[in-house]
Amino acid sequence: MYIEKLMNQVQGVNRMKRKEIIGMKYGRLTVIERIEGSNYYHCQCDCGNEKKVRRDGLTTGNTRSCGCLNREAIIKHGLSKVYPNLYSTWGNMRQRCNNPNHRDNADYGGRGIKVCPEWDSFKNFCEWSLANGYVKDDRSISIDRINNDGNYSPDNCRWTDRITQNNNRRCTVRTMVNNKDLTLKDIAEEYGINHETVKSRYNRGLRGEDLIKPVVLRGLPT
């Protein structure tokens, strides 16, 4: 009985906390009502638009408008000022491919890798990035070419983390084991074999299941 009463009190406090933000204003957003069964709220923006926003997005200040603040900032300051890190990525990408004096040109433009004509415009590159996984100020992700011998273009690029990129490098060896496409490091981890052993076997020309056979010590009975 006591536990049930205590739980009811806790639930009552939680309900009060949820109601606390209704009617409050965060940036340009006024909280109208909570969406039943979720942590989202219907909000009215000063510009007239309505938007569904998570409670923590409001209380932390991460969401301050329906999106109109960003649009106004872009109009006022230009895309390069709103997304300086993305602008730097775009500029470096074009330098690697187009500038023969760039320190990395040999691995990019020198190999025939180009930036597609569509991405000669930062606006186009920015719009594609925002629609395909780019998060402003997230330093854990960067642009990656799916086919390392292909160009920088919408159909060959993605925003992804460093681990995925490392697995996609030209120097990363991939091979099939038990119908799975794996790197040598993946094979070592998945089958519990020393990475150097797997590399040695691969370099000796072994493939497939021969890469993962148990090590047999000479002189011992099998």
The region of weakest confidence among 88-92, 115-119, 151-155, 197-201 is 197-201
Q: Answer yes or no: do 134 and 63 share one domain.
A: no
- Tell whether 21 is covered by a domain: yes
**For range 14-19, the mean pLDDT:** 52
Q: What is the mean pLDDT of residues 145-157?
A: 91
Q: Percentages helix, strand, coil for the chain, rounded to the nearest 5?
A: 45, 20, 35
Tell whether 98 and 140 lie within a shared domain: yes
65 & 111 share domain: no
- 204 and 134 inside one domain: no
pLDDT, position 203: 80
Q: Which pLDDT belongs to residue 90? A: 94
The CATH number of whichever domain residue 57 belongs to comes to 2.30.30
Instruction: Please report which helix (H) or strand (E) contains residue 34, including its range.
Output: strand 29-34
Q: How many CB atoms lie within 10 A of CB 19?
A: 12
Pair 110, 140 in one domain: yes
At 88, the pLDDT band (50, 70, 90 cuts) reads very high
- Asked whether residue 200 is domain-assigned, the answer is yes
* pLDDT score at 218: 56
Are 85 and 27 in the same domain? no
* Domain membership flag for residue 189: yes
218 located within any domain: no
Q: Please give the average per-residue pLDDT across 16-45, as a whole number.
A: 86
Count of domains in the chain? Answer: 3
pLDDT at 178: 86
Contacts 24+ apart (CB under 8 A), 121-126: 122/79, 122/80, 122/87, 122/90, 123/79, 125/86, 125/90, 126/79, 126/83, 126/86, 126/87, 126/90
Looking at the fold, whether 63 and 102 belong to one and the same domain comes out as: no
Same domain, 54 and 83: no
Convert 116-147 to b/e letters by CB count within 10 Å (16 or more is b).
eeebeebeebbebbeeeebeeeeeebebbbee
Q: What's the pLDDT at 192?
A: 85
Residues 152 and 87 in one domain: yes
Q: Measured between alpha carbons, how far is 214 from 202 in angstroms, rounded to an integer?
A: 15
7 within a domain of the structure (yes/no): no
217, part of any domain: no
203 is in which domain, residue-wise?
Answer: 174-211
The confidence score (pLDDT) of residue 24 equals: 93
